[in-house]
């Protein structure tokens, strides 16, 4: 692996583990709850994250270039929750812009099993061709759109493997039962997204711990962090699981202790 590629992946995954903070949701769903002002949402959470996942628009408008973390740039879009089909995405950002913004990686969604499977996989192949020339890793997101029932091992294993075969250096997918089947079939690191907010913080800690035990190398968790009434406390607890190998019990203790001491934001 070339120096630039190794260096970027090393920044994103210190010690091979990672906690990315996604604030890209607005690119298809507008001002998501608790993400109306992404710069304010992310500020107290930055110390716990290894990278931020966002679009160029939010990056320029809301992120201080002198006080930030490595950026995974979201470079697919052009569909919305009020449009016809969420899967009908295009590449939105040129390779020149990805380089100009000093992105540590570029991320895009693939929609396997939809009417736009071929187009989204072609987007991935094109982006990999462009980014590999400059040592920039591509993170593929196995998106399910509104079909949340697709979050099961057989489908996610298929989607992750296809994304890796097309050249993604990292694949982001959902946690599911039997997550080892997903991780084992994927030759590149797999990280877990959170999905809609869980009922309790304990549930979040449990699924993250389970996925890491079964082969994931990290997380890219948004709503379950910044929509929590205690975002800093959950971020700190998750970081302990990802980077310090804390048990669920230890992480929950960290969560409970931190929520008593840290200021909370309104959910």
Smallest gap from residue 10 Cβ to ligand 5RP (A): 22
Smallest gap from residue 220 Cβ to ligand 5RP (A): 5
Q: Which parts of 121-180 interact with ligand 5RP (CB under 6 A)?
A: 141, 143
CA distance 26 to 29: 5
**Per CB under 6 A, 79 contacts ligand 5RP:** no
Return the exposure string of 221-249: e unless at least 16 CB atoms fall within 10 Å of the residue's CB, then b: bbbbbbbbebbbbbbbbbbbbbbeebebe
**Per CB under 6 A, 231 contacts ligand 5RP:** no
**Per CB under 6 A, 76 contacts ligand 5RP:** no
Binder of ligand 5RP out of 17, 18, 21, 25 (CB under 6 A): 25
Q: Which parts of 179-208 interact with ligand 5RP (CB under 6 A)?
A: 193-195
Residue 23 vs 254, nearer CB to ligand 5RP: 23
Smallest gap from residue 224 Cβ to ligand 5RP (A): 6
Binder of ligand 5RP out of 223, 230, 239, 259 (CB under 6 A): 223
How many residues form the binding site for ligand 5RP (CB under 6 A)?
A: 14
In 3D space, the residue among 13, 125, 145, 127 whose CA is nearest the CA of residue 79 turns out to be: 145
Binder of ligand 5RP out of 9, 13, 19, 24 (CB under 6 A): 24
Q: Which stretch binds ligand 5RP (CB under 6 A): 22-30, 88-96, 117-125, 144-152?
A: 22-30
Q: Can you tell me whether residue 129 is helix, strand or coil? A: helix
Q: For residue 233, is it left (φ>0), alpha (ψ between -120 and 50) or beta?
A: alpha
Residue 71 forms beta bridges with which residues?
52
Q: Cα 117 to chain center, whole Å?
A: 20
Residue number with the smallest Cβ distance to ligand 5RP: 194
Strand ranges for the chain from DSSP E: 18-22, 51-54, 71-74, 76-77, 90-91, 105-110, 138-142, 170-174, 190-193, 218-220
CA distance 211 to 200: 17
Residue 4 vs 31, nearer CB to ligand 5RP: 31
List Cα–Cα distances, 182 to 18, 129, 161, 185, 261, in angstroms. 18, 25, 8, 6, 38
**Token pair in block for residue 244:** 């310090």
**Per CB under 6 A, 222 contacts ligand 5RP:** yes
Which residues are identified as catalytic? 172
Smallest gap from residue 235 Cβ to ligand 5RP (A): 12
Residue 133 vs 265, nearer CB to ligand 5RP: 265
Q: Can you tell me whether residue 106 is helix, strand or coil? A: strand
Residue ranges that bind ligand 5RP, judged by CB under 6 A? 22, 24-25, 53, 141, 143, 193-195, 220-224
């Amino acid at each position: 692996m070339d120096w630039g590629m190794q260096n970027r992946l090393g920044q994103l995954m210190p010690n091979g583990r990672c906690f990315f903070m996604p604030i890209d949701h607005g690119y298809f769903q507008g001002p998501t709850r608790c993400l109306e002002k992404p710069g304010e949402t992310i500020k107290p959470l930055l110390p716990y994250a290894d990278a931020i996942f966002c679009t160029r628009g939010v990056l320029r408008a809301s992120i201080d270039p002198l006080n930030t973390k490595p950026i995974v740039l979201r470079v697919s879009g052009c569909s919305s929750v009020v449009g016809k089909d969420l899967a009908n995405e295009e590449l939105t950002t040129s390779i020149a812009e990805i380089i100009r913004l000093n992105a540590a990686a570029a991320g895009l969604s693939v929609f396997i099993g939809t009417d736009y499977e071929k187009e989204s996989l072609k987007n991935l192949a094109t982006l990999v061709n462009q980014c590999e020339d400059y040592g920039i890793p591509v993170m593929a997101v196995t998106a399910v759109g509104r079909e949340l029932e697709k979050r099961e091992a057989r489908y996610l294993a298929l989607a992750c493997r296809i994304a890796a075969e097309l050249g993604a250096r990292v694949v982001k997918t959902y946690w599911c039962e039997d997550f080892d089947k997903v991780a084992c079939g994927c030759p590149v690191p797999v990280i877990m997204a959170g999905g809609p907010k869980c009922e309790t913080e304990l549930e979040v800690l449990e699924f993250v711990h389970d996925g890491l035990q079964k082969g994931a190398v990290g997380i890219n968790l948004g709503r379950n962090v910044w929509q929590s009434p205690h975002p800093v406390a959950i971020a700190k607890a998750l970081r302990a699981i990802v980077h310090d190998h804390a048990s669920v019990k230890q992480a929950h203790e960290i969560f409970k202790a931190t929520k008593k001491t840290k200021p909370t934001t309104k959910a």
